[in-house]
Amino acid sequence: MVNLYLVRHGIAAEREEYPEDGVRPLTSEGKRKTKQVAQQLFKLGLQFDLILSSPLVRARQTADILKAIGLSSQLEESTDLTPEGSIYSWLTWWEEWRNKGGSSLALVGHEPNLGEWTEILVWGEAKGNLLVKKAGVIGVQLPESGSPIGRSLLFWLTPPKFLL
């Protein structure tokens, strides 16, 4: 199986302060809590071949924190992970990445996308019934061959408060 970890960005500044959604940064509380989550993931022994991040500032800052803690040496951005992104476009990328031998990947992005992508991978359709908190983490095992849609296994879902 191939392990996929989906991490929602941390607490970000309010929309009123930043008319352009893409530049909203993490608040200082958001940075602090995200760092605690990253440290806990590191303590639990997690390592990612690659962190793939939404280019939006609050996600990219979250991804930078994961990388700085030592969870991966590789970080790339993908527009598939923006709020407008599509799991089907990402899956094309992912199948290529898996075929090149990738085995542990972290995605950093947004809600409702991450929860819905998880539901599509595990149950084949999105009902919006996963609660994914800011800086929350999801773990899914994807199959080594064939489509992962409706064929993946959910092994982890945690809000940050149960990690700290």
Give the interface with its own copies as residue ranges (CB under 8 A). Answer: 44, 119, 122-123, 127, 129-131, 141, 150-159, 161-163
9 has which bridge partners?
Answer: none
- Burial environment of residue 34 by CB neighbours within 10 A (0 to 12, 13 to 18, 19 or more): buried
Least Å from the CB of residue 131 to its own copies? 4
Least Å from the CB of residue 158 to its own copies? 6
Return the number of the residue (53 or 141) whose C-beta is nearest its own copies.
Answer: 141
Least Å from the CB of residue 44 to its own copies? 6
Return the number of the residue (15 or 150) whose C-beta is nearest its own copies.
Answer: 150
Written as one string, the DSSP assignment of 8-32 is: E---B--TTT-SSGGGPPBPHHHHH
Return the number of the residue (38 or 56) whose C-beta is nearest its own copies.
Answer: 38
